[in-house]
Amino acid sequence: MTGDILTFTLLSLSSLFIIINPLSSTLLYVSLTSTLDHEEKMRIAKEAARYALAILLIFALFGGMILQLFGISLEAFRIAGGILLFVIGMEMVYAKTSRSKMTATEKYEGIDAEDVSVMPLAIPMIAGPGGITTSIVLMNEATGIGLLAYGIVLVSIILTIGVTYYMMRNADYIVKRIGQREFRAVNRLMGMMLIAIAVQFVIIGLKAAFPTLAGA
């Protein structure tokens, strides 16, 4: 039981951290707030983190009921989520901007917007389709482990958003220390890990949807 909890904790933290990608969100935050003063930058960082946290927690807690409302099985959502994460991971490996998280149009519209904290920072950059999908899938995985696993997912979401908020607050210092070459190297490594997690999601979903595969 202890081993299952430890494995699930590592899975929750790693998958959420990789898909939300605080470093990528921080670099976008820098580009969107380059013309603002310090106080306004801090306000945007706080608001973006708060909205993103609320969105992920809501979908983590009530995502299962939302799926039932639309007649979508958890197995189907797990497989679809795995495919989405796989696509995002491939884009990270090949150093492309993930259109699954935010399109170019949303990015450039955000530059001209008066307040970028909600759109495009909180949605869809931080709490995008990948983060929402991962939160729902992890909460479903927690069902077979126990009550503690639900808390682990929620804490993992809070910690990941907390790291993102901290990095945005210290964005000027981070950008000075991290060049484009280092960012691409880290991004590709995280992309490989995300692909592995995505494949695992699909395997588990297929086994749950087709029990004969598990027996084989």
What is the tens place of the pLDDT at every residue in 15-61? 999 888 898 788 778 877 877 888 999 999 999 999 999 999 999 99
Q: What is the pLDDT of residue 190?
A: 72
- Indicate if the pLDDT at residue 181 is higher than 80: no
CB burial readout 11-30, b (16+ within 10 A) else e? bbbbbbbbbbbbbbbbbbbe
Main-chain phi, psi angles of 115, to 5 degrees: -130, 115
pLDDT band, very low/low/confident/very high, at 12 (cuts 50, 70, 90)? very high
Contact between 49 and 165 (Cβ < 8 Å):
yes
Q: What is the pLDDT of residue 157?
A: 97
Place of tokens 């299952």: 4
Could you give the domains of the chain?
Answer: 2-215 (1.20.1250)
Residues 59 and 123: their CA atoms lie apart, in Å, by 13
Q: What is the pLDDT of residue 96?
A: 63
What is the tens place of the pLDDT at every residue in 93-110? 886 655 445 555 554 454
What is the tens place of the pLDDT at every residue in 108-157? 454 444 567 887 788 877 888 788 888 998 998 898 888 899 999 999 99
Nearest to 126 by CA among 16, 11, 13: 16
What's the whole-number average pLDDT of the chain?
A: 81
